[in-house]
A = this chain, B = another copy of it.
Amino acid sequence: MTDDVRGQGGRGDESGPEDVLAVGVLGARGKVGREVCRAVEAAADTRLVAEIDVDDDLEALVRSGARAVVDFTHPDVVMDNLEFCVSHGIHAVVGTTGFDESRLRTLRGWLADSPGTGVLIAPNFSIGAVLMMRFAAAAAPFYESVEIVELHHPDKADAPSGTARHTAELVAAARREAGCAPVPDATSTALEGARGADVEGIRVHGLRIRGLVAHQEVVLGGVGETLTIRHDSLDRASFTPGVLTGLRAIASRPGLTVGLEHLLDLDV
């Protein structure tokens, strides 16, 4: 059994019988939770055994035989959910936000008392977004210039997006480590904002356009050539392959994993 989603286009050969993972979903009646339920039901190697939401008892998880949960709930309740799951040896794949260093420390404490249990906390379950960030950071030291453009629907509250900011930080770190000089920029007169936001020396530009969903482009350039890495999310369902990847991998990764990227075997 593979612990990643490579080959997800469907195996050409017929696989033999495999263990099917019993999965409970926390936040099952939310918009995202419903998509997760659908994906868990549709996948051949996972089975949906419990749909829990705000008014339900967590004990139902135990009764259902769930070996792993997916949690897309709320920062106010996610820690209670995880304490319960870890203490019952139930693995967890978590998309709920709000994890700071203090919460991660608490979580590591609980996991230390429950060896064999694995928890994945991921701010982004899009495999494409993770690949874009990895490739951008890998390529950045080979180029003089790097900038980031993110494009989203106009109802988004923050700019730049969290993914764009995180990409810029990864790119900046990769360049620092390789000893790169700052990106060149001879701008001497500019309208305010024309050169974007500065995230650790990397310029980030945010567009807000009706009709778009979530898109990002990293543009890298050197003498006579450019390399562009672009990720387009066209549908909210795009995060479900990443959740399934997490579920398949987490049982064999005891302890805390932060970030989907650690579960992708890239072979680059």
Contact = CB atoms under 8 A, between A and B. Distances in A.
Interface of A: 4-13, 126-128, 131-132, 134-135, 138-139, 141-145, 147, 149, 151, 154-160, 165, 174-175, 178-199, 203-213, 219-238, 240-241, 264, 266-268
Contacts of A236: 224
Given A154-B185, A225-B232, A143 B12 contact: no
Contacts of A180: 6-12
B228 A230 contact: yes
A185 B208 contact: yes
Contacts of A229: 135, 227-230
B208 A147 contact: yes
A234 B221 CA distance: 11
Given A190-B206, A208-B187, A236-B224, A131 B127 contact: no
Contacts of A233: 224-225
A193 B191 contact: no
Contact of A184 (B6, B154, B266): B154
16 contacts: A8-B180, A9-B183, A10-B181, A128-B220, A138-B266, A138-B267, A156-B187, A160-B194, A193-B193, A193-B196, A193-B198, A194-B205, A194-B206, A210-B223, A212-B226, A227-B231
Given A141-B6, A144-B9, A128 B227 contact: yes
